[in-house]
Structure 1
Amino acid sequence: MHAVTHRLTILSATLALALGATAAHAFSDDEARRAILELRGQIQQMKDQNQQARLQLADQMDMLHQEIATLRGRLEELGRPGHPAAANGPANAPQLSVQTDDPQQQAVYQAAADQYRNGRYPEAAASFAAFVEAYPDSELSTDAQFYLGSSQYASKSFKNSIQSMQALVQKHPDSARAPDALLVVAANQIELNDLKGAKATLQRITKDYPSSNAAETAKNRLKLL
């Protein structure tokens, strides 16, 4: 009888241990399931956020491309003598900001301007570069330098355009062309995917030339960056 009782005690203890282990195992499985569900939720949330960020970036890039196209059209207008945009001031004026009494200089400049007006941008760039080299002290040199950079931009020679426009600003920081030259620098930087550089250039316009037409354009560009 004692042996039977002992066996029952052992059996009961074993069953209790087994049930306890099963409960612990079930508890562990529930915890694991909850952890997996939470992890899945976090992953889905990250995916949703990542998708939203990609969409926002795509929207910004589309707007930037539209702005670049608008600026390119504006630059093309700059080289069209007699264009109505001349009434909007120096930033849009296709005519010279100064005049010269030297007919030879005037003829060389006009030949380059005609190339620009006719969409022959590489030829115009070469002609304006030749003018700047031949007449560095001319009253027309600042305008020639500006249209040199504009021709290079229109020719998609973005790095050369940056150099030309930066040279203009460095040599003639008080020129009416300077803020627009920096605006073209920023456009070149955007084309080269140098958004950090473009942002710095646009901020420089708003800081150094706050009253210029280019400053308002720069503020709008900065909102996109």
Structure 2
Amino acid sequence: MRLAIGGAALALAAALGLAPGAARAGLFDDEEARKAIVELRARVAALDDQAKLHATTSASELAALNTQLTEQLAGLRRGLLDLNNQLEAMRGELARLRGNDEQLARDIAEAQRRQKDIAQAFDERMRKLEPIKVAIDGTEVMVDQNEKKAYDDAIAAIRTGDFDKSVNLLGTFQRRYPAGPYSDSARFWYGNALYGKRDYKEAINAFRNFVTAAPEHPRAAEALLALANSQAEMKDPKAARKTIEELMKAYPASEAAQAGKERLASIK
């Protein structure tokens, strides 16, 4: 900057039409020239001061601007870092929520499966407890499934010839279901099971109880014939003949009455 100002002074001197050496010699003799030189020097000094001030002010502004930009850049970097951290946190939270959603979906599916299994098991138990329709000696009735199974087990024992087992099962059945739909049939088959195990005395009591309790039962006539046969096995022909007469009188059109009539000839 100083070189520029010095150059400006020389240029000004040249503009005044003075050579460097001649100007210096002539000016000291001429008052006007000295004034011009003083004025010129003042102007040059002013220009130099102005240039210095301008340079100083520009550097300060640039430094301030640079500081400001640096701070702004640092702030932007911090903001970008914060945003990046927030983004990573949001990604982690999203992954966690997705994992929770997947686990929740699995939990819901498992709960639904368990609920379905429980409902099916409950329905199955209810079906086992619900009465079912069966035909007992020609009559359709609703019966408890457990009662039906107990009755069927006892009859199955008779069919296989296991009369001891059948007597025990039917005895238990009558105590457990004394007024159930199978009660009359149970008494009838209980008498037959006793007859099968050759316990004729108890068979007589069972058949008599059956006929007394259910005289209109489809098997009542058959029970009287079995009663007469039990009496005959007990060597009591008089009682046997009397029972057959009772059979023919009470149920004259039954097959059991016809069979009893034929049986009379062999009872002595």
TM-score by length of 1: 0.56
Work out the CA distance in 2 between the residues paired with 1:143 and 1:160.
17
Deviations 1:82-108 (A, max 9, x none): xxxxxxxxxxxxx83144431011010
1:155 Cα offset (Å): 0.1
List 4+ stretches of structure 1 deviating above 3 A: none
Partner residue, 1:133: 175
The answer for unaligned runs of 5 or more in structure 1 is 1-94
> Whole-Å Cα distance in 2 between the matches of residues 171 and 101 of structure 1?
20
Partner of residue 163, structure 1:
205
Secondary structure, in 3 states, of the residue corresponding to 2:217?
A: coil
**Is residue 136 of structure 2 the alignment partner of residue 96 of structure 1?**
yes
Partner of 1:120: 162
CA distance, structure 1, for counterparts of residue 211 and residue 232 of structure 2: 19
**8 Å CA contact retained: 2:163, 2:193:** yes
1:166 is displaced (CA, Å) by 0.3
Distance in 1 separating the partners of 2:247 and 2:175: 27
User: Residue deviations 1:40-79, cap 9 Å, x none?
Assistant: xxxxxxxxxxxxxxxxxxxxxxxxxxxxxxxxxxxxxxxx
Asked whether the 8 Å contact 2:200–2:233 carries over to 1, the reply is yes
2-side partners of 1:204 and 1:147: how far apart?
A: 21
Shift of 1:167: 0.2
Q: CA deviation at 1:137?
A: 1.1
SS at match of 1:224: coil
User: Does the 8 A contact of 2:154 with 2:169 survive in 1?
Assistant: yes
Give the residue type in structure 2 aligned to 1:183.
L
1:57 — aligned with what?
none
From 227, 236, 245, the counterpart of 1:194: 236
Output the amino acid matched with 1:143: S
> Is the Cα contact below 8 Å between 2:203 and 2:227 reproduced in 1?
yes
User: Given the alignment, which residue of 172, 178, 198 partners 2:214?
Assistant: 172
1:142 to 184, 191, 196: 184
SS in 1 for 2:247: helix
Structure-2 separation of matches of 1:211 and 1:113: 28
Whether the 8 Å contact between 1:100 and 1:140 is mirrored in structure 2 is no
| Counterpart amino acid of residue 162 in structure 1 | I
- Number of equivalenced pairs: 131
Q: Which residue of 1 aligns with 2:195?
A: 153
Structure of larger gyration radius: 2
* Separation (CA, whole Å) in 2 of partners of 1:224 and 1:139: 37
C-alpha separation in 2, matches of 1:142 and 1:102:
16
Q: Are the aligned partners of 1:100 and 1:106 in contact in 2 as well (CA < 8 Å)?
A: no
Identify which range, 112-121 or 199-208, moves more after superposition. 112-121
Distance 2:176 2:142 in 1: 15
CA distance in 1, matches of 2:224, 2:257: 10
Cα deviations by residue, 1:148-203 (Å, 9 ceiling, x for unpaired)? 00000000000000000100001111111111111111111111110000000000
Partner of 1:203: 245
Identical-pair percentage: 29
SS in 1 for 2:221: helix
Quote the RMSD (CA, aligned, Å).
1.3
How far is 1:124 from its partner? 0.1
Structure 2 gap ranges (5+): 1-134
Given that 2:143 and 2:181 are in contact with CA atoms closer than 8 Å, whether structure 1 keeps it comes out as no
User: TM-score scaled by structure 2?
Assistant: 0.47
Q: Conserved in 1, the CA contact under 8 Å of 2:221 and 2:256?
A: yes
**1:129 Cα deviation (Å)?**
1.4
Give me the whole-angstrom Cα distance separating, in 1, the residues matched to 2:222 and 2:206.
13
